Amino acid sequence: MTHIRPWRYHELMRILVDIEGLPWDKAWTITVNTCAYTNHTVLPEALERWPTHLLERLLPRHLEIMYYINHRFLEEVSKKFPGDSDRMRRMSIVEEDGEKKINMAYLCIIGSHAVNGVAAIHSNIIKTDTFRDFYEMYPDRFQNKTNGITPRRWLLLCNPGLSDIIADKIGEDWVTDLYQLQQLKQFADDEQFLRNIMKVKQENKMRLATYIQQEYNVTVNSSSIFDIHVKRIHEYKRQLLNILHVITMYNRIKKNPSIQLVPRTVMIGGKAAPGYHMAKLIIKLVNNVANVINNDPIVGDRLKVVFLENYRVSLAEKIIPAADLSEQISTAGTEASGTGNMKFMLNGALTIGTLDGANVEMTEEMGDENIFIFGMKVDEVEETKRSGYNAQQYYESNSDLHQILDQINNGYFSPEDANLFKDIYNSLVYTDRFMLLKDYEDYIKCQDRVSEAFKNPLEWAKMCVHNIASSGKFSSDRTIKEYARQIWGVEPNEIKLPAPHEGLDSFQDTDKKDEKK
């Protein structure tokens, strides 16, 4: 998510210079010492560039200040890199190719004493790629602050069953010090504890199964793998790659109706931006694929597909505690951090994922034997782009993939309109910006490893324990402490839970809070 409020730099300068009457240099020092910039994405279409013709009409004085900030900055650049006019052109906040625009991310970097990404891999990409020139100009400004999630909402509140069996073993200090969960590693071979973990998971799955029965009138097999992919719908998050796996499973059953495979319930949920045509088409495809599969008697309870509507925090609180498998399958180098990945890990779901965003650090924390990693690494994605990616080659050379893409293209999942999903077919076969086709084969192999592993419940539960026990780093308490000390220059307050007599309102279910309003 982007939370960029770049106007604060020139607005603070305007207040200090125009209203408070400070000299420019003094105002600038205050501004830079006050501001810090957290980057939340490297996708170029999400980095804001404001057309100057709009600023001229709406904020003429602010635009003047931006031009002067840029003028002073480019003087500094030419002092540090004399004669490097190409660098000056690249670093100007005023972009002159085509419509004249202000690059707001560049303005943020210039006006901040600290710049950070939200996971280690993302902070490195910022330094070596996205803002490389600015890193060379101000190396000391660049930092990393790996995202986190609050253990109060994302374990204590949403998963009381799991919270209780953890507290039975290690007490309750983990609620404000999540690293305490490390102590659970000593119980990773304790069969009774593993059985308790499995029991809680099963209860959570049955509760979600009831919800799905009520909301969607779909009967799911609660002993199947609950394979869950919930997040905003976006091409880079590759919900389509998940659908390619679903159709792969379906085609295997159709080809060999008596095939023994580990049953799955695949749930995909998320909202699309209203103007994002491809994202809405992906939602339509998930629903149509679900319709075909769920109503095919040959399939039975070996495979079910559910699109979860209106994905939001209160629904996440119901879904995540019931997950066996968390899908975190973005193209390496595109997901800044992710936080959904952390919520699932903390609730004892195993992850199938790429080495992207915080998945990289999750893998470091738990060891690669406790996570299902597949696909290209970020350097392989870069190399593939450099040498010219040809998606069609993968379509031509993999017969399963070929069949699936043809089904999507010829109306197998849209008998009422055979052309409905043509845009999806064309986008994958002729462009495939996020390289789904190149990662397809490895993804399928990895999913087959997941199914194999699920056949051994105690081994699976042991991996779940390693996931939970390794999630201490991903507490937002750790993140906020790092921001406080290393960016804001303040000492963090101690975390205090409300005393029982003060009520547990702050830990109440989000839906109940909504009802009260």
CB-based closest residue to ligand PLP: 340
Kindly state the number of chain residues that form the binding site for ligand PLP, as judged by CB under 6 A. Answer: 10
**Residue 340 beta carbon to ligand PLP: minimum distance, rounded to whole angstroms:** 3
Please pick, from the candidates 117, 321, 340, 472, the single residue that binds ligand PLP as defined by CB under 6 A. 340
Determine how many CB atoms are found less than 10 A away from the CB of residue 367. Answer: 11
Please pick, from the candidates 187, 193, 226, 311, the single residue that binds ligand PLP as defined by CB under 6 A. 311
Segment interacting with ligand PLP, rule: CB under 6 A, options 15-23, 339-347, 362-370, 476-484: 339-347
Please enumerate in sequence order all residues whose Cβ is within 8 A of that of 373, keeping only pairs 6 or more positions apart, or say none.
Answer: 353, 354, 355, 359, 363, 446
Euclidean distance between CA atoms 502 and 494, whole angstroms? 18
Nearer to ligand PLP, 311 or 395 (CB): 311
Segment interacting with ligand PLP, rule: CB under 6 A, options 2-10, 92-100, 338-346, 401-409: 338-346
Please pick, from the candidates 15, 261, 273, 313, the single residue that binds ligand PLP as defined by CB under 6 A. 313
Catalytic residues: 40, 231-232, 237, 339, 343
Widest CA span of the chain, in angstroms? 81
Query: Is residue 362 within 8 Å of residue 341, measured between CB atoms?
Result: yes
Please enumerate in sequence order all residues whose Cβ is within 8 A of that of 74, keeping only pairs 6 or more positions apart, or say none.
Answer: 88, 91, 92
- For residues 474, 163, 325 and 424, what is the CA-based torsion angle, rounded to 10 degrees? -70
The binding track of 269-308 with respect to ligand PLP, each residue x by CB under 6 A or -, is ----------------------------------------
Euclidean distance between CA atoms 371 and 497, whole angstroms? 33
Nearer to ligand PLP, 133 or 317 (CB): 317
Residues 216-245 binding ligand PLP (CB under 6 A) are 231-232
Angle between helices 399-410 and 239-255 (to 10 degrees): 100
Segment interacting with ligand PLP, rule: CB under 6 A, options 29-37, 336-344, 381-389, 484-492: 336-344
41 binds ligand PLP (CB under 6 A): no
- For residues 80, 111, 493 and 164, what is the CA-based torsion angle, rounded to 10 degrees? -100
Euclidean distance between CA atoms 272 and 334, whole angstroms? 18
Nearer to ligand PLP, 299 or 320 (CB): 320
Nearer to ligand PLP, 289 or 358 (CB): 358
Per-residue burial over 28-57, b = 16 or more CB atoms within 10 Å of its CB, e = otherwise: beebbeebbbbbbbbeeeebeebebeebee
Residues that bind ligand PLP (CB under 6 A): 231-232, 311-313, 316, 338-340, 343
